[in-house]
Amino acid sequence: MTDQASLILEVHGLTKTFPGRAKPAIADVAFNVRRGSSLGIVGESGSGKSTTARCIAGLIPADKGEVVLDGRQIDGLDRGLMRQVRRHLQMVFQDPFSSLDPRMTAEELVGEGLLVHGLAKDKRARREAVVRNLELVGLSAADLERYPRAFSGGQRQRIAIARAIAVRPKLLICDEPVSSLDVSVQAQVLNLLLDLKAQLGLSILFIAHDLAVVRYLCEDVVVMNEGRVVEAGSRDDIFDSPRHPYTKSLLAAVPVPDPRMSRRRAPLKEEP
């Protein structure tokens, strides 16, 4: 039996049907995220991964189900209470080009959460905190006054990550955060997430369609198909001993250049 204190997130029976559609986008989705761990949700486009993430984060309301963050049920909270919760549950989105306000500087973007949640006593303290968080993601004080258009895609995603971790959340939800980046940049961002997880004690819910990325980053895996969880387990269970036919088909579709690596694929490596 799982010790409840060891869980940072519990999802029970999450269901969502969008207006005008007879079939639910997600149905009876349930899983747990262990404290200090990374759980990856994988599946093809339309499997319900992002809808699940958005329901958990309170960005869209679920029709049924419960979401429990660090022992507190957070689904259905009013706007004011949800704002308090969002300090502890932050999200990094797929496209850094659209998720960052182009009218705001890096300092304003990273410092916004500190201001909203009252985590810095004055402007000077806020700037110092912003610099610390930029440095955590590989940027610097020299970037404070720059606007998103002045950064590369990978750098913008680093700013998005700095903005999310600035308020020191308990859970970081990453919705396809590397899928729009070049492969070499993907590896750097994944390694950054692993470093931050270790340094800050983060728990991560990671949404992806790329199984190699999930295998590299996540200790636990949930497989979704047509809005439902079809298999869940440890990384080794899912990748080395898949049980569900859909999981087996996903793994079979992953290209492997060397047939000798078909049973155990090497992890991604950071580009020099």
Backbone phi and psi for residue 151, each to the nearest 5 degrees, phi listed first: -110, 155
Q: What is the pLDDT of residue 3?
A: 67
Q: What is the pLDDT of residue 181?
A: 87
Task: Reply yes or no on whether the pLDDT at 262 is more than 50.
Answer: no
What residue numbers bound the domain in which 198 lies? 1-88+170-272
- Clarify whether residues 135 and 267 are in a common domain: no
Task: State the average pLDDT over residues 9-23.
Answer: 96
Residue 271: pLDDT band (50, 70, 90) is very low
- Clarify whether residues 114 and 55 are in a common domain: no
Global pTM value: 0.90
- Clarify whether residues 67 and 115 are in a common domain: no
Task: Decide which of 140, 168, 196 is a domain's last residue.
Answer: 168
At 45-63, the pLDDT tens digits run 999 999 999 999 999 999 9
Q: Considering its fold, how many domains does the chain have in total?
A: 2
At 161-185, the pLDDT tens digits run 999 999 999 999 999 999 888 888 9
Higher pLDDT: 132 or 272? It is 132
Domain membership flag for residue 32:
yes
Q: What is the pLDDT of residue 272?
A: 32
CATH number of the CATH domain containing 8: 3.40.50.300
Domain membership flag for residue 93:
no
At 92-119, the pLDDT tens digits run 998 878 889 999 999 999 999 999 998 8
- Clarify whether residues 64 and 121 are in a common domain: no
Sign of the C-alpha dihedral computed for residues 213, 168, 109 and 57 taken in this order: positive
Domain membership flag for residue 19:
yes
Q: Which pair of structure tokens corresponds to residue 86?
A: 């969002």
Integer Cα distance of 137 and 112 in angstroms = 17
Task: Decide which of 168, 184, 200 is a domain's last residue.
Answer: 168
- Clarify whether residues 182 and 255 are in a common domain: yes
User: Mean pLDDT in the chain?
Assistant: 90
Q: What is the pLDDT of residue 256?
A: 52
For helices 123-136 and 106-116, the axis angle rounded to 10 degrees is: 120
Task: Reply yes or no on whether the pLDDT at 187 is more than 70.
Answer: yes
- Clarify whether residues 63 and 156 are in a common domain: no
Backbone phi and psi for residue 218, each to the nearest 5 degrees, phi listed first: -110, 140
Domain membership flag for residue 270:
yes
- Clarify whether residues 176 and 164 are in a common domain: no
Q: What is the pLDDT of residue 180?
A: 83
Domain membership flag for residue 238:
yes
- Clarify whether residues 144 and 197 are in a common domain: no
- Clarify whether residues 81 and 103 are in a common domain: no
- Clarify whether residues 148 and 215 are in a common domain: no
Q: Which of 6-10, 84-88, 94-98 has the highest mean pLDDT?
A: 6-10
- Clarify whether residues 154 and 253 are in a common domain: no
Task: Decide which of 109, 138, 168 is a domain's last residue.
Answer: 168
Domain membership flag for residue 84:
yes
- Clarify whether residues 175 and 266 are in a common domain: yes
SS (HEC) of 55-123? HHHCCCCCCEEEEEECCEECCCCCHHHHHHHHCCEEEECCCHHHHCCCCCCHHHHHHHHHHHCCCCCCH
